[in-house]
Amino acid sequence: MRFTLGNFTSISLRTGLALTAAAGLAASGLALASSAEAAPAANGLRTAHSCAAATKAGQMACQAVKVTSGASTLARSSGAVDPAAAPSGFGPDDLHAAYNLPTTGGSDATVAIVDAYDDPNAEADLATYRSTYGLPECSTDNGCFSKVGQSGSASSLPSADAGWAEEISLDVDMVSATCPQCHILLVEADSSSMSDLGASVNTAVSLGAKYVSNSYGGGESSSDASYDSSYFDHPGVAITVSAGDSGYGVEYPAGSQYVTSVGGTSLTADSSARGWSESAWDGSGSGCSAYDAKPSWQTDSGCAKRTVADVSAVADPSTGVAVNDTYGGDGGWEVFGGTSVSSPIIASVYALAGTPSSGSTPASFPYGHTSDLNDVTSGSNGSCSTSYLCGGASGYDGPTGLGTPNGLAAFTG
């Protein structure tokens, strides 16, 4: 089953409150704030963040953005981006075509998803997604899917949460879409604190995952260096983190020097040789970290510390992806965007590219293969004094990093 998407108008997810929060993010140490539901865009779409904004240092919020009502005025073969259509939004075929990805590979790889709280329906919803798109079974019974709590126990799980359940469904569906033969390890943290989520990253690595996706973020703080060394310094493991969904401004752990920070794009089908075009999504996080040191492989001149992001993939809800979730507020087929989409996609691309060598730094890999990425040169996520930090540009830019996948070469050592 193939779904293609027409040329959509980007949704602005930022209200005045969110813009104010973005401006003061680094100074305050607080997560970006936004209204629960954004005002409708010109095409009538309304969106909402699945998780409440984090309000204190050390607290994280998931980065899933759901289309709650309306439909694009521009049609495509499967209909408009409309949450009432089942399913609507990009599916596996679209992502493979847009990013030149193989449909096989990854059978020996485990992609870990780290999120907070429990999604009781995660495995059943995953089964529906995969059967709908003709993907191979991925279940506990056949050893493809496993779900554990923060300690690594399959029988000791945290309490359930509807918002984070939407995030979990989005994440496991994007792994399935990108790398259908990959195994999926879901690690559910006890809470949305950085300490619990970080401990869950360590659990994922201890259980053998070489690819770990983290679709959450919060405000930067002076504790970030400690978090870096405690949770994210895992040589030979590709750890991806969503760059954020409130426009220009840096969140943690996307600002960690040890992770691949993943920005977001608007993705549309067109008549070009590639068949697709992309621009920077106006909600994608980006900028210059206030605390984290610049890694040696990052050489942009406008930021003395860590620059966000490294690479990117689709994240705009108005060019969103199909997700099946029955535990969240609406239930069933929904359309999602946010850099929660792009992070598990990129983790899965790393998995398709092959196991990183022992002691390597996978976040550095794309910097050695810039010609093997789709350079995104248009769009912006706000205003800033150093233009490439908030706008698409030739070569490196903040919202989209070095670009989006064009095959696997940029994600190998």
Backbone Cα Rg of the chain: 18
Query: Domain 16-411 belongs to what topology?
Result: Rossmann fold (3.40.50)
Strand partners, 262: 242, 311
Per-residue confidence (pLDDT) for residue 45, from 0 to 100: 83
User: Is residue 316's pLDDT more than 50?
Assistant: yes
Which string of b and e fits 124-160 if b means at least 16 CB within 10 Å? ebbbbbbebbebeebeeeeebbbbbbbeeeeeebbee
Per-residue confidence (pLDDT) for residue 37, from 0 to 100: 64
How far apart CA 97 and CA 106 sit, in angstroms, is 18
Q: How confident is the model at residue 39 (pLDDT cuts 50, 70, 90)?
A: low
Structure tokens at 108: 């020996």
User: Is residue 163's pLDDT more than 80?
Assistant: yes
Question: Which is higher by pLDDT, 43 or 198?
Answer: 198
pLDDT tens, 240-275? 999 999 999 999 999 999 999 999 999 999 999 999
For every residue of 266-334, DSSP letters joined together read EEEE-SSSSSEEEEE-TT--BEEEEEEEPPTT---TT-SEEEE-SEEEE--GGG-EEEEESSSSS-EEE
Per-residue confidence (pLDDT) for residue 231, from 0 to 100: 98
Q: What is the mean pLDDT of residues 318-340?
A: 90
CB–CB of 284/306 below 8 Å? no
Say what the pTM is.
0.89
